[in-house]
C-alpha cells in the first residue's frame, strides 16, 4: 500500500512456485521454508483483497453508515504499514482478518448476508485500523461498530460495553501505546502493562493462547472464542471457554505437539511456521465419541476450527488434517489443478455425501497427510494404542489410494494437476509394502472401508429404471436375467440416515470407548462384526419392518459375502422396491443372491 496509490490500479508481484516446493507439497509434505513461501504469497493476496474492499466501499454509497469515511482507513493502514511492516503483515495475515475480508466482499457483491446492517460488517475495517495503529505506535481517534454491545479488535481482544443497542458505535482512542474504547464512558481496553494483551480486564476479554515447544522454536496459537469472524460463514457471538475447558485445550494441544515433534519433527516445525489460531466448534450430540468435527477455509490461512479432540493423538491428527487443507488452499491460489463443473459425483471414502472433483482433491490431500502421520506414529505408539494405530494406518492408506486412483482417472485435471497427482501417488507403494500391520487388523480396516463404500452406493446411486424393471420381471418369472446393465447414476440422497454402528463396533474392539453411540448397534450389526452367519437373517428381519433401510441393505450385502454384489450393491434394494410396487413378495436375501448369481456377476 502506498499513500499516492489510491487512484492507481491494484498491483502485486507475480509469484512463481519453485519446483522443489511444488514437489514437496505434492508429496503431502512441505517444511518451514515452503510454508514461509506460501505465507508470502497469501500476504500478497490479502493486500489485493484489502484494496478490493476499500475500492468497493468507496464505490458503494452509505457502505460505512455512521462510521468514518474509507479514506481515513486508507491513511491509517498506509502509515501503519510504513512504520511497522512486520506487525502490519501479521495483522493482515491473522486468519480472522481473512475471514472478515472474504465475508465483507461477499456482502458487497450480494453473495452473502449478515445479521446486521452492511456497515456493521464493513465497519470492522476501523477495528483493524485501530490494531494496526496500536502495533505501529501511532496515535488514532476513530469509531468502530458494536455488535450486541461488543467490539472485536482482531488478534487483540473484545471490548464489552453494557446497555448498548444491538447495532451501535463506540469511539476508540489510541495514545501512548494504549487502546481505550468509549474513553468518555466505560473506558475499557487491554490491561496494563503493555505486553499483557492476552489477559482480561473489566469490560475487556483478551485472546488466550495455546503453547507448545517444537524443534527449534516455541509455538503459540490463539485459542479464539470471541472473534465474530472465527467461523467460516456468518458472524458468531462470543462463547467464552470456561477455566476447565481451556485447561483441557491447553493440555491436549501441548500433548499433540509433543507427539508430533517426536514422530514427525518436520511437520511440527512447519505448523509452528504456518498455524496461528484455533477456534472451537461445539460438538453435535449425536456425533460418535471418536469423531472430531473440524474445518478450515482458504480465506483463513493459518486458522482452523475444531471440536475439542478427546486426546493428544486425535488432536495431532486434526492439526495434520487441517494443515494439509491450509497448504493446498494456498497453492490453489497460485495454480489451477483442476477444471470441473462442480457436479457432486465422486465417492470420497471419508465422506457420506458425493463430492465434486475439487472436494475429492482436498480430501485426498488431507488424508495423504493423515496416512503419513499414522505410518510415522507407529514407531512411537505405546503398546496399549498399537492396535488402533495399525487400524488407522491400514484404513487411511486404503481410503487414500482409492481417492488418488479416482482423481488420476478424472479428465478434469490440468497439466499441473496431473503432475501434482503423480507426486501424491508416489507415496502409496511404500505404505502398501509396510509389514507392520497385522493381518487381522488389516482385515478390520478392509471391512470398515468396504462397509462405507457399500453404504454410499446404496444411498446415492440409482440404477437405470428400465434395467430395474427388467430385472424384477425376470426374478418374478424365475428366470436368469442376462444382458448389459447400465451404470448407475449418482443421485444424492442427503436425508438418508447413516448410523455407522458397525464402524463403532470395530473401534470398540480396538479399545476406543463410544458409550454415547446412537442409535445403538442392532443385533444384526453385532452378529456381522462378530462373524456370525446369522447376521443375514437379522438384516432380513430389519428389512421386513423397513424395506428401504439403507443401513440394513448395506449390512445384508456384506453378510451374504457375495463379492459381485459389492460392485453393484444398489441393485438389490432397487429391484426389491420394484417387486413390492408390482405386488410381488420376496425375501431380500433371495433377491440379493439371485442378482449375485446372475446379472451382477
Spatial separation of the C-alpha atoms in residues 330 and 319, rounded to whole Å: 17
Are 347 and 397 found together in one domain?
A: yes
Determine the structural domain holding residue 98 and report its residue range.
19-266
pLDDT in tens, 17-31: 999 999 999 999 999
| Predicted confidence (pLDDT) per residue in 249-298, tens digit | 999 999 999 999 999 999 999 999 999 999 998 765 566 666 899 999 99
Residue 210 in grid coordinates: 495455546
Q: Do the domain assignments include residue 326?
A: no
DSSP 190: P
71-75, 259-263, 504-508: segment of lowest average pLDDT: 504-508
pLDDT tens digit string along 402-423? 999 999 999 999 999 999 999 9
On the question of pLDDT at 515 being above 50, the answer is no
Indicate whether 395 and 519 sit together in one domain. no
Query: What residues contact residue 462 under an 8 Å CB cut-off, 6+ apart?
Result: 488, 489, 490, 491, 570, 574
Query: Could you tell me if 134 and 42 lie in one domain?
Result: yes
Number of domains in the chain: 3
Grid cell for residue 133: 495503529
pLDDT for 111-122, tens place per residue? Answer: 998 889 999 999
Q: What pLDDT does 196 receive?
A: 52
Q: DSSP for 10-79?
A: P--------HHHHHHHHTT---HHHHHHHHHHHHHHHHHHHHHHHHHHHTSTTTTTTSPPHHHHHHHHHH
Is the residue at 328 inside a domain?
A: no
Q: Are strands 277-280 and 303-306 parallel, antiparallel or unpaired?
A: parallel
User: CA angle 132-138-142, nearest 5°?
Assistant: 70
Domain boundary, last residue among 437, 457, 486: 437
Structural domain ending residue among the three candidates 437, 458, 482: 437
Residue 332 lies in a domain: no
- Please give the Cα distance from 439 to 420 (Å, whole number): 32
Q: Which residue has the higher pLDDT, 6 or 142?
A: 142
Q: Which residue has the higher pLDDT, 383 or 283?
A: 383
Structure confidence by residue, pLDDT tens digits, 15-65? 899 999 999 999 999 999 999 999 999 999 999 999 999 999 999 999 999
In a shared domain, residues 508 and 397: no
Q: Kindly state whether residues 425 and 509 are assigned to the same domain.
A: no
Q: Return the number of other C-beta atoms located less than 10 Å from residue 393's C-beta.
A: 27
- Residue 317 is assigned to a structural domain of this protein: no
Average pLDDT, the chain: 93
Mean per-residue pLDDT for 74-97?
A: 98
The answer to which of 6-15, 76-85, 308-317, 547-556 has the lowest mean pLDDT is 6-15
Least confident of 77-81, 195-199, 557-561: 195-199
Q: In this structure, are 551 and 461 located in the same domain?
A: yes
| Residue 361 forms part of a structural domain | yes
Residue 416 exposed, middle or buried by CB count within 10 Å (0-12, 13-18, 19+): middle
Last residue of a domain, one of 437, 460, 494: 437
**599 pLDDT exceeds 80?**
no
- Backbone φ and ψ for 493, nearest 5 degrees, come out as -120, 85
Is 575 inside any structural domain? yes
Is the pLDDT reported for residue 566 higher than 90? yes
Shared-domain flag, residues 358 and 225:
no
Tell whether 260 and 227 lie within a shared domain.
yes
Residue carrying C-alpha cell 517444537: 214
| Rounded distance between C-alpha atoms, residue 68 and residue 130, angstroms | 13
Q: Residue range 330-352: average pLDDT?
A: 95
Task: Give percent above pLDDT 70 in the chain.
Answer: 94
Find where cell 424395506 sits.
547
For residue 424, how far is the Cα from the chain centroid?
20
Amino acid at each position: 500500500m502506498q499513500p499516492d496509490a489510491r487512484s492507481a490500479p491494484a498491483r502485486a508481484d507475480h509469484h512463481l512456485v519453485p519446483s522443489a516446493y511444488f514437489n514437496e507439497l505434492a508429496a503431502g509434505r512441505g517444511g518451514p521454508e515452503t510454508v514461509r513461501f506460501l505465507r508470502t504469497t497469501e500476504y500478497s493476496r490479502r493486500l489485493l483483497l484489502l484494496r478490493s474492499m476499500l475500492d468497493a466501499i468507496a464505490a458503494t454509497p452509505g457502505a460505512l453508515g455512521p462510521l468514518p469515511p474509507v479514506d481515513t482507513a486508507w491513511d491509517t493502514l498506509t502509515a501503519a504499514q510504513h512504520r511497522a511492516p512486520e506487525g502490519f503483515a501479521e495483522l493482515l495475515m491473522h486468519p480472522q482478518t481473512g475471514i472478515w475480508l472474504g465475508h465483507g466482499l461477499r456482502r458487497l457483491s450480494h453473495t452473502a448476508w449478515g445479521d446486521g446492517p452492511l456497515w456493521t460488517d464493513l465497519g470492522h475495517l476501523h477495528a483493524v485500523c485501530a490494531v494496526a495503529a496500536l502495533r505501529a505506535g501511532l496515535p488514532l481517534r476513530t469509531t468502530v461498530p458494536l455488535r450486541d454491545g461488543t467490539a472485536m479488535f482482531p488478534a487483540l481482544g473484545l471490548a464489552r460495553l453494557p446497555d448498548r443497542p444491538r447495532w451501535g458505535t463506540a469511539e476508540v482512542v489510541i495514545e501512548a501505546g494504549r487502546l481505550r474504547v468509549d474513553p468518555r464512558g466505560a473506558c475499557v481496553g487491554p490491561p496494563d502493562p503493555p505486553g499483557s494483551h492476552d489477559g482480561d480486564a473489566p469490560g475487556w476479554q483478551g485472546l488466550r493462547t495455546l503453547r507448545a515447544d517444537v524443534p527449534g522454536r516455541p509455538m503459540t496459537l490463539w485459542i479464539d472464542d470471541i472473534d465474530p469472524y472465527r467461523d467460516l460463514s456468518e458472524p458468531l457471538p462470543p462463547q467464552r471457554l470456561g477455566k476447565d475447558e481451556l485447561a483441557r485445550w491447553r493440555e491436549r494441544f501441548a500433548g499433540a505437539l509433543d507427539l508430533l515433534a517426536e514422530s514427525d519433527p518436520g511437520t511440527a516445525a512447519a505448523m509452528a511456521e504456518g498455524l496461528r489460531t484455533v477456534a472451537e466448534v461445539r460438538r453435535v450430540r449425536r456425533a460418535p465419541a471418536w469423531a472430531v468435527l473440524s474445518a478450515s477455509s482458504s480465506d483463513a490461512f493459518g486458522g482452523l476450527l475444531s471440536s475439542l479432540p478427546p486426546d493428544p493423538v486425535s488432536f495431532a491428527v486434526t492439526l495434520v488434517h487441517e494443515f494439509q487443507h491450509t497448504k493446498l488452499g494456498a497453492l490453489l491460489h497460485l495454480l489451477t489443478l483442476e477444471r470441473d463443473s462442480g457436479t457432486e459425483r465422486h465417492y470420497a471414502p471419508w465422506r457420506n455425501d458425493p463430492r465434486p472433483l475439487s472436494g475429492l482433491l482436498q480430501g485426498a490431500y488431507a488424508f495423504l497427510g493423515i496416512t503419513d502421520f499414522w505410518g510415522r506414529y507407529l514407531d512411537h505408539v505405546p503398546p496399549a494404542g498399537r492396535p488402533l494405530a495399525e487400524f488407522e494406518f491400514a484404513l487411511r492408506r486404503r481410503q487414500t489410494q482409492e481417492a488418488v486412483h479416482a482423481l488420476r482417472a478424472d479428465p478434469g485435471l490440468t497439466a499441473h494437476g496431473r503432475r501434482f497427482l503423480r507426486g501424491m501417488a508416489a507415496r502409496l507403494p511404500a505404505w502398501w509394502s509396510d509389514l507392520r500391520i497385522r493381518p487381522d487388523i488389516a482385515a478390520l480396516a478392509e471391512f470398515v472401508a468396504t462397509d462405507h463404500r457399500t453404504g454410499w452406493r446404496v444411498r446415492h446411486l440409482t440404477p437405470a429404471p428400465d434395467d430395474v424393471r427388467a430385472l424384477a420381471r425376470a426374478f418374478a418369472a424365475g428366470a436368469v436375467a442376462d444382458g448389459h446393465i447400465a451404470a448407475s447414476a449418482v443421485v444424492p440422497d442427503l436425508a438418508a440416515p447413516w448410523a455407522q454402528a458397525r464402524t463403532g463396533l470395530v473401534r470398540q474392539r480396538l479399545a476406543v470407548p463410544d458409550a454415547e453411540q446412537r442409535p445403538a448397534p442392532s443385533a444384526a450389526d453385532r452378529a456381522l462384526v462378530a462373524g456370525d452367519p446369522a447376521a443375514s437373517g437379522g438384516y432380513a428381519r430389519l428389512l421386513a419392518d423397513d424395506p428401504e433401510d439403507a443401513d440394513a441393505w448395506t449390512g445384508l450385502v456384506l453378510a451374504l459375502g457375495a463379492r459381485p454384489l459389492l460392485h453393484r450393491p444398489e441393485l438389490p434394494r432397487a429391484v426389491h422396491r420394484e417387486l413390492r410396487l408390482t405386488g410381488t413378495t420376496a425375501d431380500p436375501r433371495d433377491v440379493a443372491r439371485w442378482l449375485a448369481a446372475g446379472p451382477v456377476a
